Amino acid sequence: MTGIQRVALVTAATSSLGRGMAEALLADGFLVVVSGRSEAKGLQAAAEMDPSGRVSFVACDALDQGQTEAMVDTVIERHGRIDVLINNAGGSSGFAPVHQLSDDAWAQAFQWNVSSAFWAVRRAVPAMLEQGFGRIINISSVQGKQANRPNASHYVTAKHALNGFTKAVALEYGRQGITSNAICVGAVETDLMQDAGRKAAAAAGISYEAYKQRYADAAMTGRLNSVGEVAAMARLLASEAGAGITGAILNVDGGTCSY
């Protein structure tokens, strides 16, 4: 950290992976703002992470453009700057083969994984340009590089799009001190994975335990990843030491995807 008090916004960060990344940045001296849909849960999480007030909460539904833009505005109004934006919100529902996939499920996947990141980045970049410093980190998935699970074409396509957006942002702002990278996360048993995974398992006609084991078997490490492993990558990308890394689509997946 420099003498400047850096500020980080981590979306969907009141639990699981988002909270792990927020706690990692807090340990590095950042002021951290976390977002989520539940105000009660968010305020409790912020207080648990740091009772002294170095973590604050802003309510936001990532599927809502107005709320997403207001979230970024609130961070800048509250702290006068935004140095790190981690777009962690994402997911999908309505798992089905392509010929049975609904329009709503397809549209929601793009809104949740791509549009939400676009809205937040577009709102944050002017402040980052003024500062001459910015770190944009989009939480993607190994499914953004490959397609190795059935019934998830909407999610696979949306994460591929998010990776493309990440590279485009890196190209446009790399000479203004702003980096843009994506972390392609392998299987981590978060709350979201449990929810979405059970639905995907049901659509595939298998148990949730069998669904998890498929992910473990596909990894070179033979296991699921931990929240701490993903948070460590985000910590590097958010730091001064990460200045030379941009436009990168980085795997933290235990070797599930080898490129």
- pLDDT, residue 200, reads 82
Please indicate whether residue 259 or residue 107 has the higher confidence score (pLDDT).
Answer: 107
Q: Above pLDDT 70, what percent of the chain?
A: 99
Residue 234 has a pLDDT of 99
Non-local CB neighbours of 83 within 8 Å, separated by 6+ positions: 4, 6, 7, 8, 30, 128, 131, 133, 134, 135, 238
C-alpha–C-alpha distance, residues 192 and 12, integer Å: 10
For residue 185, what are its two tokens? 């996360």
Give the tens place of pLDDT for each residue, 172-200.
999 999 999 999 999 998 877 888 789 88
The residue among 14, 5, 25 whose CA lies nearest residue 238 is 25
What's the pTM value of the predicted model, to 2 decimals?
Answer: 0.94
pLDDT of residue 2: 64
pLDDT at 148: 84
pLDDT above 70 for 1: no
- The pLDDT confidence band at residue 70, using thresholds 50, 70 and 90, is very high
* Domains, the chain: 7-252 (3.40.50.720)
Q: Average pLDDT for residues 209-225, to the nearest whole number?
A: 94
Element (H, E) at 79: helix 65-79
Instruction: Please give the angle made by the CA atoms of 160, 211 and 87, to the nearest 5 degrees.
Output: 35
Instruction: Give the pLDDT score at 101.
Output: 98
Q: What are phi and psi of 112, to 5 degrees?
A: -75, -40
Mean pLDDT for the chain overall: 96
**Catalytic residue IDs:** 155
Q: What is the pLDDT of residues 228-244, one digit of tens each?
A: 999 999 999 999 999 99
